[in-house]
Amino acid sequence: MIPKVTAKDVAKLAGVSQSSVSRVYFEGASVSAKTKKKVLEAAEELGYRPNEFARSLITNRTKIIGLVMKGVQNPFYPQVLKQFTSEFKKIGYSILFVHTNNDEIQKDDIDILLNYHVAAVIITDATLSLSAMEEFKDNKIPVVLFNRKVVKSDFYSVCCNNLKASEAIGEFLIAEGCTKLAYIAGNANTSTSIERERGFTNIVEKHNVHLKKYSSDYTYEGGYNTAREIISKKQLPDGFFVANDIMALGVLDALRENQIAVPNDTKVVGFDNIEMASWPTYNLTTWEQPMDEMIAETMTYLINEIENYTGIAKNIEIDGKLIVRETTKKGVD
């Protein structure tokens, strides 16, 4: 085993003090070009690598972002994970991945984040309790809810503007000629499902169009089973707004199984614009979440908070756009 090399070893070889070695690796410290050169050469020769733990012990800060995620079946979330990891890597941060089974993150997950003194926390597809939020506040750890928001104003959240989006979807389906609509909800306690339902309902009621709502759970099976039930009960609408894409795919499959033609017999709109929505089998009309902007917004906020903690809470909502595909194009009879 190669003996572990420390700043002291480098200092000896470079003929400088250990403090100078430290300064070379500490951003913003003042070192002469000459010293820097000597140190870097010695470090290279010895294979020196500053110890992150000694560093964190003193500065009491890390370059670790805690990312908490529930859903991995919905391809939207792995994509979010990938993007955050790549973007944060560019600025020297790494991702501590935490998986939770609950809608609200639990004590053991919070302990992990606190034990590692993460610089910031991103929670996606889940929320957290007010008391958990307090714990992070006490430790001055900034937190962002990504794609979820909480009514309490103590949380900073970044979402797509779900209300506006679902209103636009309502207008669109009605303009396409739908007169009997259905909304299939995601998990009832999620802000996304609630707001999508509200926006859609607003518009549909305004136009006095018939609407029936069904509850489901944001999974493929949920969408599939709900649609089958609708079909078997002879409640088929002429237009569906399904609260996310993965459920919408289940709906499309159920319709296909029952020889119900889309978009001629009924139309379907999803939400997220996951990659599969564009697959030729599905060709799903959907709302594109502005993921890049949502991620950029999250990062800007977190980086500011890491440098200068304020703990301000705000709900950021970013518009997305409708992607029209084959599940809504007017049929040519």
Binding site for a copy of itself (CB under 8 A): 1-2, 4, 49-54, 56-57, 60, 62, 64, 67, 72-73, 75, 77-79, 81-82, 85-86, 89, 94-99, 101, 108, 111-112, 114-117, 138-140, 220, 224, 249-250, 252-254, 256-257, 275-276, 279-281
CA angle, 57 then 61 then 66, to 5°:
120
- Do 318 and 159 touch, CB atoms closer than 8 A? yes
Quick one: 176 or 253, whose CB is closer to a copy of itself? 253
Instruction: Tell me which of 13, 42, 48, 328 binds DNA, using CB under 7 A.
Output: 48
Residue carrying structure tokens 């007169």: 179
Residue 7 interaction partner, one of DNA, a copy of itself, none, beta carbon < 5-8 Å per kind: DNA
In angstroms, rounded to a whole number, what is the distance separating the alpha carbons of residues 300 and 295?
9
CA 260/CA 104 separation, integer angstroms: 38
Torsion angle defined by CA atoms of residues 72, 77, 83 and 89, in that order, rounded to the nearest 10 degrees: -50
**Beta pairing class for 286-288 and 267-269:** unpaired
Instruction: Give the total residue count for the chain.
Output: 333
Q: Does 258 bind DNA (CB under 7 A)?
A: no
Question: Which amino acid is located at 228 in the chain?
Answer: R
Is 63 buried (19+), middle (13-18) or exposed (0-12) by CB count in 10 A? middle
Among 47, 57, 300, 309, binds DNA (CB under 7 A): 57
CB contact at 8 A, 217 and 186: yes
The distance of closest approach from Cβ of residue 120 to DNA in the complex, given in angstroms and rounded to an integer, is 18
Q: Does 35 bind DNA (CB under 7 A)?
A: yes
Q: Does 59 contact DNA by CB under 7 A? A: yes
User: Smallest distance, Å, CB 39 to DNA?
Assistant: 9
- Give the one entry of a copy of itself, DNA, none that residue 87 binds, where binding means its C-beta sits below a cut-off of 5 to 8 angstroms depending on kind: none
32 binds DNA (CB under 7 A): yes
Question: Which listed option, DNA, a copy of itself, none, makes contact with residue 138 (CB within 5 to 8 Å by class)?
Answer: a copy of itself
**Cβ closer to DNA: 34 or 234?**
34
Q: In whole angstroms, how close is the CB of 68 to DNA at the nearest point?
A: 24
The distance of closest approach from Cβ of residue 63 to a copy of itself in the complex, given in angstroms and rounded to an integer, is 9
Q: Where are the beta strands (DSSP E) in the chain?
A: 64-69, 94-99, 120-124, 143-146, 156-160, 180-184, 210-214, 239-242, 267-269, 286-288, 315-318, 321-323
Question: What is the C-alpha to C-alpha distance for residues 297 and 169, in angstroms, rounded to an integer?
Answer: 25
Note whether 249 and 284 are within 8 A (CB). yes
Residue 329 CB, nearest approach to DNA (Å): 59
The span from the CA of 236 to the CA of 299, in Å, is 43
CB of 24 to a copy of itself, least distance (A): 16
Taking the C-alpha atoms of residue 86 and residue 65, their distance in angstroms, rounded to an integer, is: 12
Which span (30-38, 91-99, 126-134, 284-292) binds DNA, by CB under 7 A? 30-38
Can you give the binding site for DNA, defined by CB under 7 A?
4, 6-8, 16-20, 22-23, 25-26, 29-32, 34-35, 48-51, 54-55, 57-60
